[in-house]
Amino acid sequence: MTMRGDDIEPVLAALADPTRRRVLDAVASRGEATATMIAAELPVSRQAVVKHLGVLDQAGLVTGRKAGREMLYTARPEPLDNAARWMDAVAAEWDARLARIKHLAELPASAAETGAPAGDER
Amino acid sequence: MTMRGDDIEPVLAALADPTRRRVLDAVASRGEATATMIAAELPVSRQAVVKHLGVLDQAGLVTGRKAGREMLYTARPEPLDNAARWMDAVAAEWDARLARIKHLAELPASAAETGAPAGDER
DNA sequence: GGCGTACGCAACCATATGGTTGCGTGTTTG
DNA sequence: CAAACACGCAACCATATGGTTGCGTACGCC
């Protein structure tokens, strides 16, 4: 029940918090870790870590697996990678759009189509 | 006076909010826009937009330029691109680390090469 | 000059968010 | 079996955050 993968919203939100990033990183650096283990090396309580792990899990950045009385979490790069690609796409789109606009603006006003307003702005 | 570019913190935080993303997108789609213009097409007040633009500017995602009595904002893809690359790097690192750990764990304690491991991967 | 528009600043609000402590329960292990 | 350990759940807190309204002021236009 943690099939969130295509929604960048939670990923960005999860990554926005510094502490949460540290938690994530801590998990990643151990391959697998429990909230207790992580809390031991961070200046926050175990419960805080638990909450962060909850958010991270919600974003698909970690997955929990119960082993005996422990809850082991593992980091998952996919969502991150996913978000990165999304960003690239958006950036590219903006880039294109801006380039297009700039291009039009710099045209020597040769073809005057559409009853557009008089060229000069301001 | 807004030379924050290498700090992903504000970028992620800025991108985390849906409305703020819409504002950003609105700016990008126009090439240049004022808070008033954007507020006109979003379900929030101009002031709210102003605040969002402030955050976006802080993150380097937009820049303002005063034209007469108007304040025109433009989107800047750089920080986005920047964040994307950062994410990729982190993801790659985790991937490597996880692969290494997994590899070690599954080794029957025999030949332990450091070269190209048997590609499992998703 | 005078009016309307576009800002910026500030006060205020409600809710979300990060964090803490306390407590009851399941799991090991001596 | 009983003591320890590791959790999960819930109550609570303080502050950050998104949003609103009101107001004084700079700029443009008749």
* pLDDT confidence of residue A87: 95
Measured at the CA of A79, the angle between CA B88 and CA B23, to 5 degrees, comes to: 85
The structure tokens listed for A113 are 């189509």
* pLDDT confidence of residue B100: 76
* pLDDT confidence of residue A103: 72
Interface of B with A in 49-88 (CB under 8 A): 67-68, 74-75, 77, 80-81, 83-85, 87-88
- Which amino acid, A36? T
* pLDDT confidence of residue B99: 74
Nearest CB among B75, B90, B101 relative to A31 is that of B101
Output B51 or B6, whichever has higher pLDDT: B51
pTM for the model stands at 0.83
Output B71 or B112, whichever has higher pLDDT: B71
* pLDDT confidence of residue A116: 40
- Which amino acid, B112? A
Which site among A23, A87, A95 would you substitute to test the B interface, given the most B Cβ atoms closer than 10 Å to its Cβ?
A87
* pLDDT confidence of residue A117: 41
Which site among A80, A106, A120 would you substitute to test the B interface, given the most B Cβ atoms closer than 10 Å to its Cβ?
A80
Cβ-contact A62, A53 below 8 angstroms: yes
Say what percent of chain B tops pLDDT 90: 69
Q: Which H/E stretch holds residue B64? A: strand B62-67
Q: How far is the CA of B32 from the C1' of C24 (A)?
A: 58
CB pair distance less than 8 Å for B13 and A18 = no
- Residue B88 to residue B8: CA distance in whole angstroms: 13
* pLDDT confidence of residue B114: 47
- Residue A77 to residue B69: CA distance in whole angstroms: 47
- Residue B82 to residue A89: CA distance in whole angstroms: 13
Strand C-proximal residues of B, range 19-58, CB below 7 A, are 34-37, 46-47, 50
* DSSP per residue, A27-90: HHHHSSB-HHHHHHHSSS-HHHHHHHHHHHHHTTSEEEEEETTEEEEEE-SHHHHHHHHHHHHH
Q: Please give chain A's pLDDT, 122 residues, in tens.
A: 444 446 899 999 999 999 999 999 999 999 999 999 999 999 999 999 999 999 999 999 999 999 999 999 999 999 999 999 999 999 998 888 777 776 766 656 544 444 344 333 33
Q: In terms of Cα–Cα distance, which of B45, B36, B41 is closest to B25?
A: B41
Query: Tell me: the pLDDT tens digits for B37-84?
Result: 999 999 999 999 999 999 999 999 999 999 999 999 999 999 999 999
- Residue A70 to residue B116: CA distance in whole angstroms: 34
State the burial class of residue A101 (Cβ atoms within 10 Å of its Cβ: 0-12, 13-18, 19+): middle
* pLDDT confidence of residue B94: 84
